[in-house]
Amino acid sequence: MLELRNISRRFADFSLQDVSFLVERGDYFILLGESGAGKSMVLETIAGLTAPDSGYMFLDGRDITCEKIQNRRIGLVFQDHAVFPHLTVGENIGYSLHSARLSREKKHAKVKAIANELGIGELLARRPGTLSGGELQRVALGRTLIQEPSILLLDEPLSSLDTRLKGDLRRLLRAIHRKGQTILHVTHDYEEALSLGTKIAVIHKGMIIQSGTPADVFHHPKSEFVANFIGVKNFFPANLVTEDQVVFAYICNNIRVRIVTDVPGGEGFILIRGEDILLSTLPVETSATNNFKGIIEEIVPNAGGIDVTINTGIELHALITRDSLEKLGLRAGNTCWVHFKATAVRFIIN
């Protein structure tokens, strides 16, 4: 368990202010924020690479605020991997075993086991210069995991990878988490947050402005910044099913939406942007394949336009202009039709 209490640190042009959060054992905790929000700084402070001006940090009940870096039992995977270029993959992974009282054979077996688990068992004799970005990321992960850290800190681990590799690495991270590893993962990508996190904290200008489960944060953004930053209020856990070559995402209560995706099936989340939802007062014929009737629950102006909440069995948020609102004469309590295209629905596999 990792707890940060009122961590503050002032730099020339930036400061962390009263950063507090709690990562419990077994959590996959996501620290979500724009670039420059102070995410990496928080990780470096936890790892001990920069010291806070004030505040406390506790790991498994032990005060680590002033603990030496090498004694913290915290694993940090850097955004650019920071794999040692002059050592082989095997030497990189085994670097932290130096002080362990293990025989050469046992050390080698441990390195081999972790490398196999990460799918890089064949690369042990290779030099980092000859590896791809995805492979380097796995070396960095292996090197950190072999120390069996109390908590694994990941700094934007997916940012430098292409889409296919991202999928592979997400599966790997989930597998590592399922084995019981507590993870604190920093990202600017809400999809990553949804896909992986069991808890989310949103950081902005060096301050934690909201934290909670993904559902708390995404459905009830506490500030306009969070709402805008996350951008998507329409997100639902869903089960993907292909019927007669048409893909449907089943949300609770047997509500299903049509969707266009390469993913053949499985559990995950669907996302629909508010801007992509059309409203009408009559059941009009459009090219949209998802059409639902619902009751308007709330009409709230916000920075991007008017946020209309419609209950169709699930709560959908449509973002429309004031002109459209007046033209259609929408009022809370009225019945209206909701339309969106199958291509407007994004699926994130879990």
Partner 1 sequence: MSTRFTSIQLTFILLGSLVLLFIVAPLAGMFLNTTPAQVFETAREAEVRDSIWLTIYTSLAGTLIFSVAAIPLAYLLARKNFPLKKLVTGIIDLPVVIPHSAAGIALLGFVSRESALGKMGSAFGLNFVGHPSGIAIAMAFVSIPYLINAARDGFSGVPVRLEKAALTLGASPRRVFFTISLPLAWRNILSGLILMFARGMSEFGAVIVVAYHPMVTPVLIYERFGSFGLKYARPVSVLFIMISLGLFIVLRWLAKEKK
Sheet holding 335-340, edge to edge: 278-280, 335-340, 290-302, 305-311, 315-320
Size of the site for partner 1 (CB under 8 A): 23
Taking the complex as a whole, how short is the minimal distance between the CB of residue 67 and partner 1, in angstroms?
12
Going from the C-alpha of 339 to that of each of 6, 309, 335, the distances in angstroms are 46, 14, 14
Given 51, 66, 69, 215, the residue binding partner 1 (CB under 8 A): 69
Q: Which is nearer to partner 1, 49 or 215 (CB)?
A: 49
Taking the complex as a whole, how short is the minimal distance between the CB of residue 80 and partner 1, in angstroms?
7
Taking the complex as a whole, how short is the minimal distance between the CB of residue 46 and partner 1, in angstroms?
10
Q: Which is nearer to partner 1, 73 or 205 (CB)?
A: 73
Q: Which is nearer to partner 1, 86 or 179 (CB)?
A: 86
The contact pattern for partner 1, residues 74-113, with x = CB under 8 A and - = no contact, is xxx-x-x-x-xxx--------xx-xx--------------
Q: Which residue has the tokens 């509500």?
A: 255
Taking the complex as a whole, how short is the minimal distance between the CB of residue 98 and partner 1, in angstroms?
7
Is residue 320 within 8 A of residue 305, CB to CB? The reply is yes
Q: Which stretch binds partner 1 (CB under 8 A): 45-53, 112-120, 240-248, 321-329?
A: 45-53
Taking the complex as a whole, how short is the minimal distance between the CB of residue 153 and partner 1, in angstroms?
9
The span from the CA of 319 to the CA of 300, in Å, is 10
Q: Which is nearer to partner 1, 40 or 195 (CB)?
A: 40
Taking the complex as a whole, how short is the minimal distance between the CB of residue 188 and partner 1, in angstroms?
20
Q: Which is nearer to partner 1, 83 or 176 (CB)?
A: 83
Pairing relationship of beta strands 2-10 and 278-280 according to DSSP bridges: unpaired
The contact pattern for partner 1, residues 133-152, with x = CB under 8 A and - = no contact, is ----------xx--x-----
Does residue 250 interact with partner 1 by CB under 8 A? no
Taking the complex as a whole, how short is the minimal distance between the CB of residue 92 and partner 1, in angstroms?
9
The span from the CA of 223 to the CA of 246, in Å, is 38
The span from the CA of 348 to the CA of 350, in Å, is 6
Q: State the residues that interact with partner 1 by CB under 8 A.
A: 47-49, 69-72, 74-76, 78, 80, 82, 84-86, 95-96, 98-99, 143-144, 147
